[in-house]
Structure 1
Amino acid sequence: MKVQVKILQYAVIATTIFSVSSPVAASLIQSKVLAFNQSSQGFGDSTGVHEHALSTAFYYQTYPDGGFYRGQTVTGFGWASGSASSRIVDGGIRLFSTFTIDDIVISYTGNQTAETHVPGEHHITYHANFAPHLNGNSTFSLGAQGSGFSYTGKTLYADGQEPLSGVWDIKGLYAVGTNLTLTIFSELSIANQLPEVQSAVRSSYGGFATVLGGSPVFILPEFYSANSADGSIVDNMYVGFNPLASDVHNSVSVPEPGTLCVFATGLLGLLINRRRTQSRG
């Protein structure tokens, strides 16, 4: 109940943003939910893409025999969270999330001549949980790509045998004084496809959350700092919304359409309040 209350608190927004936001220009946030089974991939596909706002995707379907698919993911600049459940033999849900921040600038405040590139690392904190009976039948993957960095992309991948939590450290060489682009993508897949699982249970569930930082987003040499207005990065630290701190990721139940509207509205209120605070400062 406590988690559900927090979800409602983070709500009064998503439907409003979903309807009024314009297509992406430079920065990108995208959510996607895909229901699937062994014989059919791609049904129940829902996507949302927005600029300077939140992207939400939701899928809900019930069947006469009591089976159902439910999935939801919400993505913002610097963070993403989602939850899914299914009660269909040979079926499951995939949650996709991507956000791109393209205004990261590393600056130098020392008295010496600034380097053109500096070594360092950036961090992504993640959490994913699964139904205990899935026995590796579900997966979570987390990837990163960027420009202005000395790497082309990395991916963390794990099966769903146990909850996953940690900070992913990505080392690189970063350009100084120019806009850098960082893209983070996440995918959670839950499914019931193992015969021994099907014979005993046909329900599955899971959830995930990712956020920039872990505590700092960037660790850089002395006198160098990274900042981003879109990514809510101030002096290497992420100061934006954190789904991990809010315990939103602990909820593996997916609200039905009416609840989703309330959830959306709360998130919108959170964003508006944050922007008012920033404008006053």
Structure 2
Amino acid sequence: MELSENKALRAFAVRIRMALLEAIHSIGSGHLGGALSIADALAVLYGREMEIHPEDPQWRDRDCLVVSKGHAGPAVYGTLALLGYFPYEELKTLNRNGTRLPSHCDRNKTPGVDATTGSLGQGTSQAAGLALGNRLKGRKNRVFLIVGDGELDEGQCWEAFSFAAAKKLSNLVVLIDWNKRQLDGYLDEVLPLGDIAAKMEAFGFDTVQVDGGDIVAVAAALERTRQGGGKPYAIVLDTIKGHGIAEAENTEMNHSMPVNDERYARWMETLQAELTALEE
């Protein structure tokens, strides 16, 4: 990856963090930690890997993204707004009456959202079904799935993974946000999952584990999924919940956090400084 592309994608990730912060601040609180932890992955997916047409959200040959951890909607909305799927100012309507941006992703409301999610685990089955449907129709579209590590407590995830491997859905790419925390606390204290990468490999996935905050590593992992083959792909993203905002990273229970005016101003100032440095 050229240095210029690296800096552009890192800047995109910072803008996504600023946009999701804009949305969550508008309503006072929200699912901050798990939205921040996938910002880098979203930057690479939408900024480099996925075939999309923002001017035509329903373009038949687009790649699809299923964000099964639907509570990370603010990160998705921030990304879509930056790409022009809807006006940036609309981020301030997050989760309000009549909004097109509900708390969790909804394909019937938001331009650019490919799957309605929020009931954890169900997005995995949707993604597998989309991938199979594309193959049966002879389409080259790929399906990308972002799933949370706490979400893997749901048995439906493993049923869907078993199905995807059995059907050899090499057009399916699963990105697991391994940020080590969930709503009730740390993953290893709630329900230890062991070696997630080894489990995905055992389920029949072509699997790699990378630093989910390293743009180059994420891009390289996604690039190798273009080769096709007889297996679905899994990328375990080693992330930090709240990544990109130090105070959020260091808050014990950061699944959902209040964002008052003082925090908003301080965090936005820090992110703006980071963005300015990348754009120099």
TM-score by length of 1: 0.30
| Largest Rg, 1 or 2 | 1
Q: Please state which structure has a larger fraction of its residues in helix.
A: 2
TM-score by length of 2: 0.30
